[in-house]
Chain A
């Protein structure tokens, strides 16, 4: 991989030139189409990834044999770092592409090597962990402060205001994101629809009443 290519990637822009060169020497890219399984839960963790483009999601098998959606990944997000750095060294989740995706790939030994030789690379990883921890802390605060109805209203507003996700959101993925379960999301969407706050069309949720949804989001 060319070091110049890494200059174009925002997450690596804070790294020193020699660190970018060291990553470029070791890394390669992988292009995957939609619906590809990148990692399988429970298999040895051999590679770590950074998303260069696309959308992916993490799934994990529950004790009752049902899959649980854990997280979504976008450009700049690292994938499988915790598996690589933990003692068990196994993939902690199955990762699936939701759109055509391009990933920067580093082997486990290259990751360790970069961490030991390049402190700015370690700092980058720490920042990524800190960002993830902040997200989880925010969610925990949200869980205690706001009712699930408020969290769903807020998330719908966020999704409608953001650049649309190419992959869309399933009810399970929405549930995972706001800390609840699919059935509750389905029930609340039906409630919002009967109150004329949203309209559901095939594959679309159209938000009809910004003032009321904003009010609910603060309940």
Chain B
């Protein structure tokens, strides 16, 4: 089974504020010494809340835009 796509976290931009960890509705993230890490990537719904909460732009949950095959 392929790993689900999850947001990326650039730890060099992260200031360890923990907002992403406390704001994740699925509790998918934990704070470690290195910064936030995915504890349960499978539970992440890719809702993008952590990206919106992050004050430093460290988290990216990018979207790719395509046409539906029938359009």
Shortest beta-carbon distance from A171 to chain B in Å: 6
Main secondary structure of the interface of A (DSSP, over half): mixed
0/1 string, A29-40, CB within 8 A of B gives 1: 000001111000
- Specify the chain A residue showing the minimal Cβ separation from B46: A202
Q: A207 to B66, Cβ gap below 8 A?
A: yes
Interface size class of B (residues with CB under 8 A): 20 to 34
Q: A168 to B48, Cβ gap below 8 A?
A: no
With A37-B13, A65-B55, A202-B5 already in contact, the answer to whether A209 and B60 are too (CB < 8 A) is no
Collect the chain B residues with CB atoms within 8 Å of residue A204's CB.
Answer: 63-66
0/1 string, B27-70, CB within 8 A of A gives 1: 00000000000000000011010011001110011111111100
Collect the chain B residues with CB atoms within 8 Å of residue A165's CB.
Answer: 64
Main secondary structure of the interface of B (DSSP, over half): loop
Alpha-carbon gap, A159 to B62, bound state (A): 13
Shortest beta-carbon distance from B41 to chain A in Å: 12
Which one of B10, B56, B57 has the highest number of Cβ atoms from chain A below 10 Å of its Cβ? B57
Within 8 A of A (CB), among B1-35: 4-5, 8, 10, 12-13
Q: A202 to B4, Cβ gap below 8 A?
A: yes
Q: B67 to A203, Cβ gap below 8 A?
A: no
Alpha-carbon gap, A186 to B5, bound state (A): 20
Name the contact of B63 in the complex, choosing from A34, A37, A170 (C-beta under 8 A): A170
